[in-house]
Every structure is written in C-alpha cells, then in structure tokens.
C-alpha cells in the first residue's frame, strides 16, 4: 500500500511539473534558421547598393541620400551595427543643408533616429524645429508624444494625442495611449488598448504592424505575469516573421526564468548573437549562466558585454545596461554617478532619477539618495526596477515607505529577475 501511495504521489508531481512547463523545443526550433533573415538582408543590401549607385550619378541629390539613409536605418534593425545609424544621420544632415532645413519628412526621420539612439535632447530640438516649420498635423502630434514621453513630460505627451479623433479606431493613438496607461500603473487598461490596436492591424492586414503588436503584447503579458499567453504571442510573432529576434529572445527568457531550461535558452541567444550581434545578448547569456550556477562563464559573458560596448559607437543606447552591471559590482562607482547625471540631462524621468539616487547611495551620499527617491520616484512610477531601487535606499531610514515600494514589486518576479527578487524577499523579511 505504501509503495502504491508513493507511486501515485510521484505521478502527481511529475504531471504537475509537466503542466507547469511553458516552452517546448518543437515550438520554436523551426525558427532557429537564417533563411527569412537572409532574404530580408539580401533585399536590404540590394536597396543600399541601388541608392549608392544612384548617388554616383548625382552626388548632390538629397532624394537619393534620404532613401539611402532610410535603408541604412533598416539595416541597423537587422544587423544592429550602430555605424549604420551614424551614417544615416550624416546623410540626413547633408540633406537638410542642401534644402535649407525646410523639409518636414527629414525631421520626421531625424526625430525617430535620435529616439532610437536615446538622444532625447536632440530629438526635442528637432521636434521644435518641426513645430516651427509645420508638417502633417497627425505625424507632428504622434512624434510630439514620442519625444515628450521619452523625456518624462507625461502631461505634454498626453495633450499631444488628446485631440486625435475616433480614438478606439485609431491605431497610432491606441499604441501610444497604451504606453501612457502602463506608465500610470493601469496595466489591464493598457493591455486592452494594445489588443484593440492589434485587431485594427489585423483588419488592415499590414504585416509589420501586426508583428509589432504581437511582440509588444507578448512583452506586456510577460510583465503582467501571464507567461503562457506571452509565449503564445511570441510564437505567433515568429510565425509572421521568423527574423524577429526580439520574439526569440523573449522565448529564451521564458525558458530560463520560468522553465529553468538554461541549455535551450542559451542556444536561442547564441543563435541571435550569431546573426545580429547585440551587447544585451551577452547580458542575457550571463544571467542564464548565473542561473545555472556557472559563475565563471557568467563573468566571461559580462566582460564580453563591456568589451563589445567599448569597441563600438553606441552612445547613450546602453547606459541602462551599463549601470545595472556597475550597480551589481562590475565597474567604477564614480562612473555610475557620471553616467546617471548624463542621463538626467538627457531625460529626467522617475527611472533615470532612480539610477542617479542609487549612484549617490553607492557613493555614500545617503541623504541625497533618500531625498531624491522621495521627491522624484516614490508615487511617480509603477516601474518595478525603480521601486526596487527606492525600496533599497529607504530600507534603513524609512522602513514603512521602503516596504510599500518593495511590496509593489512582489508580482514582478519575471521582470526583476531571480537575483533582484531574492534581495526583495530578503528585505521584506528583515
């Protein structure tokens, strides 16, 4: 009887463990090939060569330069080489000088390119020139939201899109309003807005918009703790476009954070890194190895992250990642303070204020750190990382306020990651 009972219990435990497994190799392995990516890259290469050849016949044509810039930006999205963004900017500036800075379409692209490179102050300057010059009213409103939101000017961002008509049928309004609602901590309402945008994208049948919605919905469901739903959206995005590396990396995170499948998670990221090398992939690999207990390999990947950053011209694009590693013990604390101050000048948001506060905290400036999180972070964001930092800083001197910040992060285990979540649990127990 005892043996039968043990067998039943073992069977139940096995069944439960199988049920909890979210990812499956057979689901995503078909997407671990380069065929779709190669096709896209080949088409992009043909376009770049075409416009380069056109420029040889007429080196003064701003139309040719503009087209070449657009395709270089497209190549950045494929290969992640920051040199392509620099070359695109150079071509766009040249175009502006050729026509006296009076073409709105050039400013549209310059604003988007500056945001992509996390040069938000520059994006703001281009936006002001666009506002002075005029342009398509809808595009100006949408770009105004994008710039203001990134700069932490949330009231201005909201106003920029408040006058858009037929809001529940307006794709551009819905995806931006979803960001605004998420910032306000209204995650369910934010998801509903994005789901509406997805339905509109389906009706219009535009593949890029559909894929964009699927990927963003997957990210949002991940943050909401609905991992299985997120996984299915990532798979749907890959079925639409197997060259979607963001979706692949999302599945890799589910593999190692939810399923503890470190080997397959690493295989996915290594595939992504082979095709389109990005510094953040090394950080993901270091997290995976850390979770698997391979501390030496974890450290090697962290070193590769910094090496790749310092060998390329990424500018502000990876400041958040650099700070996260310095905060965890890699790098110089004074460097963290310098980067944090730079970020505040670039965009003064609750997130960047939390980075600056933690830099003060690590450099022994406890009073400055405490005052800063109380003034600029607490009550002004629902972002788990920022609240986690606030909770750490306030833990010694303002215990109740610290606990309130940390408790708001309890449902964000996936977003914070295992190391931070363990610290969070320890602080709440102390």
- Assess whether pLDDT exceeds 80 at residue 129: yes
Check pLDDT > 80 for residue 165. Answer: no
Query: By percentage, how much of the chain surpasses pLDDT 90?
Result: 81
Band (1; pLDDT cuts 50, 70, 90): very low
Torsion of CA 92, 96, 102, 107, to 10 degrees: 30
**What's the pLDDT at 2?**
46
Does residue 270 register a pLDDT over 50?
A: yes
- Where helices occur in 292-362 by DSSP H, the ranges are 295-311, 319-327, 333-346, 350-362
Mean pLDDT, rounded, for 287-298: 93
Q: What is the pLDDT of residue 419?
A: 87
Q: What is the pLDDT of residues 110-125, one digit of tens each?
A: 999 999 999 999 999 9
pLDDT value, residue 407: 95
Place of tokens 């070449």: 68
| 179 pLDDT tier (thresholds 50, 70, 90) | very high
Residue 169 has pLDDT above 70, yes or no: yes
Burial class (CB in 10 A: 0-12, 13-18, 19+), 65: buried
Average pLDDT over residues 198-226: 94
Q: Phi and psi for 286 in degrees, rounded to 5?
A: -65, -40
**Would the pLDDT of 16 be above 80?**
no
**Can you state the angle between helices 384-394 and 399-407, rounded to 10 degrees?**
160
Q: Using alpha carbons, select from 166, 149, 167 the residue that is nearest to residue 158.
A: 149
**Average pLDDT over the chain, rounded to whole?**
91
Of 15-19, 351-355, 390-394, minimum mean pLDDT range? 15-19
**336 in Cβ contact with 326 (< 8 Å):** yes
pLDDT over 70 at 96, yes or no:
yes
Tell me the average pLDDT across 292-301.
Answer: 94
pLDDT in tens, 358-417: 999 999 999 999 999 999 999 999 999 999 999 999 998 999 999 999 999 998 988 898
Q: What is the pTM of this model?
A: 0.91
pLDDT of 8 strictly over 70? no
Whether the pLDDT of residue 11 is over 90: the answer is: no
* Res 6: pLDDT: 47
Which class would CATH give 319-416+424-430? mainly alpha
Rounded mean pLDDT, 276-296: 94
- Domain residue spans of the chain: 170-225, 319-416+424-430
Which DSSP letter does residue 167 get?
Answer: G
Cα dihedral sign, 4-8-14-18: positive
Distance CA 279, CA 91 (A): 26
Please compute the mean of the pLDDT values over residues 96-103 and round it to a whole number: 86
Residue 324 burial (CB count, 10 A): 17
CB within 8 Å of 370: residues ≥ 6 apart:
357, 393, 394, 397, 398
- pLDDT of 338 > 60? The answer is yes
Closest CA to 221 of 256, 194, 257: 194
Residue 247, pLDDT > 80, answer yes
End-to-end Cα separation, the chain, in angstroms: 45
User: Taking Cα atoms as reference points, which of 242, 181, 251 lies closest to residue 211?
Assistant: 242
Give CA–CA dist 259/14, Å, rounded. Answer: 14
Nearest to 32 by CA among 199, 216, 248, 178: 248
The pLDDT assigned to 331 comes to: 78
Segment of 66-75, 94-103, 167-176 carrying the highest mean pLDDT: 66-75
Q: What is the pLDDT of residue 430?
A: 80
Burial 356-372 (b: 16+ CB within 10 A, else e): bbbbbbbeeeeeebbeb
What the block records as the tokens of 352 is 């960047």
Q: Is the pLDDT of residue 277 over 90?
A: yes
pLDDT recorded at residue 101: 80
Q: pLDDT per residue over 184-204, tens digit each?
A: 999 999 999 999 999 999 999
Instruction: Return the pLDDT at 5.
Output: 45
In whole angstroms, give the CA distance from residue 247 to residue 305: 21
């Amino acid at each position: 009887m005892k043996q039968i009972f043990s067998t039943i219990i073992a069977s139940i435990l096995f069944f439960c463990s199988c049920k909890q497994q979210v990812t499956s190799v057979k689901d995503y392995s078909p997407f671990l090939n380069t065929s779709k990516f190669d096709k896209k890259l080949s088409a992009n290469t043909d376009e770049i060569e075409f416009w380069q050849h056109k420029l040889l016949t007429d080196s003064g044509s701003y139309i040719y330069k503009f087209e070449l810039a657009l395709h270089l930006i497209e190549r950045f999205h494929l290969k992640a080489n920051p040199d392509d963004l620099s070359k695109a900017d150079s071509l766009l500036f040249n175009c502006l000088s050729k026509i006296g800075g009076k073409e709105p379409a050039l400013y549209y692209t310059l604003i988007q390119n500056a945001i992509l490179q996390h040069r938000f102050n520059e994006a703001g300057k281009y936006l002001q020139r666009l506002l002075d010059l005029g342009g398509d009213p809808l595009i100006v409103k949408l770009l105004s939201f994008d710039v203001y939101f990134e700069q932490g000017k949330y009231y201005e961002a909201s106003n920029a899109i408040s006058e858009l008509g037929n809001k529940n049928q307006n794709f551009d309004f819905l995806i931006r309003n979803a960001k605004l609602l998420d910032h306000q901590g209204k995650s369910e309402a934010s998801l509903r807005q994005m789901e509406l945008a997805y339905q509109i994208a389906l009706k219009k049948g535009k593949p890029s918009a559909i894929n964009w919605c699927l990927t963003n919905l997957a990210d949002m469901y991940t943050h909401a703790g609905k991992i299985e739903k997120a996984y299915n959206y990532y798979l749907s995005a890959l079925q639409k476009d197997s060259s979607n590396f963001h979706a692949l990396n999302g599945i890799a995170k589910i593999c190692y954070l939810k399923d503890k499948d470190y080997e397959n998670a690493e295989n996915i990221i290594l595939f992504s890194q082979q095709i389109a090398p990005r510094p953040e992939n090394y950080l993901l690999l270091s997290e995976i190895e850390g979770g698997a207990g391979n501390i030496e390999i974890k450290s090697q990947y962290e070193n590769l992250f910094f090496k790749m950053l310092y060998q390329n011209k990424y500018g502000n694009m990876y400041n958040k990642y650099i700070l996260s590693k310095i905060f965890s013990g890699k790098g110089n604390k004074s460097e963290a303070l310098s980067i944090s101050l730079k970020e505040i000048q670039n965009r003064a948001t609750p997130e960047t204020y939390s980075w600056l506060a933690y830099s003060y905290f690590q450099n022994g400036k406890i009073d400055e750190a405490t005052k800063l999180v109380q003034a600029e972070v607490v009550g002004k964001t629902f972002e788990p990382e920022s609240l986690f930092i606030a909770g750490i800083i306030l833990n010694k001197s303002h215990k109740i306020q610290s606990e309130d910040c940390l408790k708001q992060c309890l449902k964000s285990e996936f977003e914070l990651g295992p190391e931070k979540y363990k610290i969070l649990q320890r602080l709440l127990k102390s």
